[in-house]
Amino acid sequence: MIYAGIDAGSRAIKIVLMDADKLEIVGKGITDQGVEQDKLASELFDRVLKYGGVKRQDVATIVATGYGRNAVSFADTTITEITCHAVGVHHLVPEAMTVVDIGGQDSKLIRLDAFGRVRDFAMNDRCAAGTGRFLEVVAQRLDVELESLGSMAARCRHPAAISSMCVVFAETEIIGLLVSGTAREDIVAGVQAAIAKRIIAMAGRNVELPIIFTGGVAMITGMDAALETALGKSVTISPDPQMTGALGAAILASNRKLKT
């Protein structure tokens, strides 16, 4: 039987098709988020189905998760991204105890038990300072591609101190640093460190190993190292980190309790 997970995030829509009998991914895809979320999700779903050689009627259950999950009209049910990320990470890294997920508009720290169940979590969805949006603002201000920020940070000599915990004020601070002659590489490294510190502040107490890093920001080179520095512990980037939530949703879709 084929099951589908749709992660309608704030910046991108991700879809995973899973063969529950073989526990294999038979199709996956990603597209930019937009105003017509349901239409974009449906079009992506059709493309992923075609790629996987699967017909819509062959999909037993569809679970939607993420920021825009309620906009996916063709989903059978919705499940929070906290639960889906936990399930996805546990499937990929069964020994994981902590999940750090940094997306476009929010960031989450999820603590798991030995069975991969959510023990508790902390979430930042009211401020962009600890999210991918901060990096987007920096890229725009420095007039560089978002994907190039990692390589820039790697050339840093002295990371700039970014004290503001609000993106609006931090942007003003960055302008001041540029005017004062601070290297762009040092500014990027400073922003990465500021995001990591925001995650630490959100954690509130000891973070257990192994720590798995998910979300689109995990794909920015250097962010895992920034987290490691702030935490003082090793951080492992999840395989295909943007797809973790959709994977978890597909796995949950295969749960027989969801069948009607």
Span 134-143, average pLDDT = 89
CATH (residue range 95-237): 3.30.420.40
- Compute the average pLDDT of residues 140-162: 91
Give the pLDDT of residue 199: 84
Q: Which of 73, 87, 83, 79 is nearest to 41 (CA)?
A: 73
Contact 162, 172 (CB under 8 A): no
- Indicate left, alpha or beta for 222 from its phi (over 0: left) and psi (-120 to 50: alpha): left
Does residue 168 have a pLDDT over 80?
no
Q: Is the pLDDT of residue 135 over 80?
A: yes
Phi, psi for residue 139 in degrees, rounded to 5: -60, -40
The pLDDT assigned to 259 comes to: 44
Q: How many CA atoms does the CB half-sphere of 224 hold within 13 Å?
A: 17
Sheet holding 12-19, edge to edge: 24-32, 12-19, 2-8, 59-65, 77-78
pLDDT at residue 143 is higher than 70: yes
Separation CA 251–CA 60 (nearest Å) = 12
As a whole number, the mean pLDDT across the chain is 91
Mean pLDDT along residues 53-70:
95
Would you place residue 260 in the very low, low, confident or very high pLDDT band (cuts 50, 70, 90)?
A: very low
Q: Report strand pairing: 107-112 vs 236-237.
A: unpaired
Task: Give the pLDDT score at 59.
Answer: 96
Structural domain spans, the chain: 2-87+243-258, 95-237
pTM of the model: 0.90
d(C-alpha 172, C-alpha 193), whole Å: 17
Q: What is the CATH number of domain 2-87+243-258?
A: 3.30.420.40
CA-CA distance, 226 to 153, in Å (whole number)? 10
Rounded to whole angstroms, how far apart are CA atoms 71 and 36? 9
Confidence check: pLDDT of 256 > 60:
no
Residue type, 193: A
User: Do 2-87+243-258 and 95-237 fold alike per CATH?
Assistant: yes
pLDDT, one tens digit per residue, over 42-59 is 999 999 999 999 999 999
CA distance 205 to 77: 34
Instruction: Identify which has the larger pLDDT, 236 or 11.
Output: 236
